[in-house]
Protein backbone atom coordinates (compact mmCIF):
# COMPACT_ATOMS: atom_id res chain seq x y z
CA UNK A 1 0.00 0.00 0.00
CA UNK A 2 1.30 3.45 -0.92
CA UNK A 3 2.03 6.05 1.73
CA UNK A 4 -0.26 9.05 1.27
CA UNK A 5 -1.11 12.42 2.75
CA UNK A 6 -4.44 14.24 2.60
CA UNK A 7 -4.70 17.88 1.52
CA UNK A 8 -7.89 19.84 2.27
CA UNK A 9 -8.18 23.10 0.34
CA UNK A 10 -10.84 25.79 0.06
CA UNK A 11 -11.49 27.99 -2.98
CA UNK A 12 -13.72 31.04 -3.40
CA UNK A 13 -12.85 32.35 -6.87
CA UNK A 14 -12.91 30.92 -10.40
CA UNK A 15 -9.58 29.37 -11.31
CA UNK A 16 -7.81 26.32 -12.62
CA UNK A 17 -6.93 23.63 -10.09
CA UNK A 18 -3.95 21.33 -10.68
CA UNK A 19 -4.35 17.72 -9.55
CA UNK A 20 -0.57 17.62 -8.90
CA UNK A 21 -0.27 13.85 -9.30
CA UNK A 22 -2.90 12.91 -6.73
CA UNK A 23 -4.42 9.42 -6.44
CA UNK A 24 -7.92 10.87 -5.87
CA UNK A 25 -9.56 14.28 -5.81
CA UNK A 26 -12.96 15.30 -4.42
CA UNK A 27 -14.80 18.57 -5.10
CA UNK A 28 -17.43 19.47 -2.48
CA UNK A 29 -20.00 22.26 -2.80
CA UNK A 30 -21.22 22.97 0.74
CA UNK A 31 -24.96 23.36 1.27
CA UNK A 32 -25.96 26.98 0.68
CA UNK A 33 -22.86 27.89 -1.37
CA UNK A 34 -23.18 29.56 -4.77
CA UNK A 35 -23.54 27.24 -7.80
CA UNK A 36 -20.21 25.97 -9.11
CA UNK A 37 -19.07 24.01 -12.15
CA UNK A 38 -16.02 21.74 -12.37
CA UNK A 39 -14.92 21.17 -15.98
CA UNK A 40 -18.46 21.99 -17.08
CA UNK A 41 -20.13 19.64 -14.58
CA UNK A 42 -22.56 21.49 -12.29
CA UNK A 43 -22.39 20.43 -8.65
CA UNK A 44 -25.80 20.45 -6.93
CA UNK A 45 -26.22 22.07 -3.52
CA UNK A 46 -24.37 19.89 -0.99
CA UNK A 47 -23.06 17.53 -3.70
CA UNK A 48 -19.56 16.09 -4.09
CA UNK A 49 -17.71 14.93 -7.21
CA UNK A 50 -15.02 12.31 -6.57
CA UNK A 51 -12.46 11.22 -9.16
CA UNK A 52 -10.16 8.28 -8.41
CA UNK A 53 -7.32 6.86 -10.44
CA UNK A 54 -6.56 3.21 -11.10
CA UNK A 55 -4.02 1.59 -8.77
CA UNK A 56 -0.56 2.87 -9.68
CA UNK A 57 -1.85 5.82 -11.71
CA UNK A 58 -1.82 9.50 -10.75
CA UNK A 59 -4.01 12.39 -11.86
CA UNK A 60 -2.14 15.01 -13.89
CA UNK A 61 -5.30 16.91 -14.89
CA UNK A 62 -6.11 20.58 -14.65
CA UNK A 63 -9.68 21.25 -13.48
CA UNK A 64 -11.53 24.43 -14.42
CA UNK A 65 -13.62 25.80 -11.51
CA UNK A 66 -16.29 28.41 -12.30
CA UNK A 67 -18.80 29.91 -9.88
CA UNK A 68 -21.96 30.57 -11.91
CA UNK A 69 -23.73 33.05 -9.60
CA UNK A 70 -21.41 35.71 -8.28
CA UNK A 71 -24.02 38.42 -7.60
CA UNK A 72 -24.92 37.28 -4.08
CA UNK A 73 -24.13 34.59 -1.58
CA UNK A 74 -20.98 32.73 -0.76
CA UNK A 75 -18.50 31.24 -3.21
CA UNK A 76 -17.16 28.12 -1.52
CA UNK A 77 -15.65 24.92 -2.90
CA UNK A 78 -13.76 22.42 -0.76
CA UNK A 79 -11.24 20.16 -2.48
CA UNK A 80 -9.73 17.07 -0.90
CA UNK A 81 -6.67 15.49 -2.55
CA UNK A 82 -5.10 12.15 -1.65
CA UNK A 83 -1.45 12.66 -2.52
CA UNK A 84 1.51 10.25 -2.69
CA UNK A 85 4.07 10.89 -0.02
User: Could you give the CA distance from residue 5 to residue 3 in angstroms, rounded to a whole number?
Assistant: 7
For position 71, what pLDDT does the model report? 67
What domains are there in the chain, each with its CATH number? 4-84 (2.60.120.10)
CA neighbor of 4 nearest in space, from 25, 29, 27: 25
For position 28, what pLDDT does the model report? 98
What is the residue-level pLDDT of the chain in tens, covering all 85 positions? 679 999 999 999 999 999 999 999 999 999 999 999 999 999 999 999 999 999 889 999 999 999 998 667 799 999 999 999 9
Read off the pTM. 0.93
Q: Residue 84, CB half-sphere, CA atoms under 13 Å: how many?
A: 14
Amino acid sequence: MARTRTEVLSYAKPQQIEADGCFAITFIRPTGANPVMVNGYALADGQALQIQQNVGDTDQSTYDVVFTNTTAGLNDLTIIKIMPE
